[in-house]
Amino acid sequence: MLGKLNHVAIAVPDLEKASALYRDTLGAKVSAPQALPEHGVTVVFIELDNTKVELLEPLGEGSPIAGFLSKNPDGGMHHICYEVADIMAARDRLKADGARILGDGKPKIGAHGKPVLFLHPKDFAGTLVELEQV
């Protein structure tokens, strides 16, 4: 079911500062910030040869990232994203196997313009998992 690793997401309290660290200190290519109001975040992507790192900053009062940062004020790994060929088939198989899909179970459009779903971290070794259809 799983395809390639799409990205690892890191929640940060200051997106501009974190972007500068990756760009200026590590010499990485960093995308322009992209606001995703439906997800409550602003993101940038750090492009690597074999994958991406996504930096997330809270956007708005109800941002799930704000809650994460209240527990981890310096930031930290938030989730890992894997590619799947058919997100609905993956969702249905996971639900049949007892995995919990976060939200209403319907895919939302993610930062790459593709459908995404999130899986409950308690079902996946304490890690929030994002699935993205390719």
Residues annotated as catalytic are 130
Contact assessment for residue 116 and residue 36, using Cβ atoms and an 8 Å cutoff: no
**Can you tell me whether residue 17 is helix, strand or coil?**
helix
Which residues face 76 on adjacent strands? 11
Contact assessment for residue 67 and residue 116, using Cβ atoms and an 8 Å cutoff: no
- On the CB side of 34, how many CA atoms lie within 13 Å of its CA? 15
- Quickly list DSSP for 21-65: IIIIIT--EEPPPEEETTTTEEEEEEE-SS-EEEEEEE-STT-HH
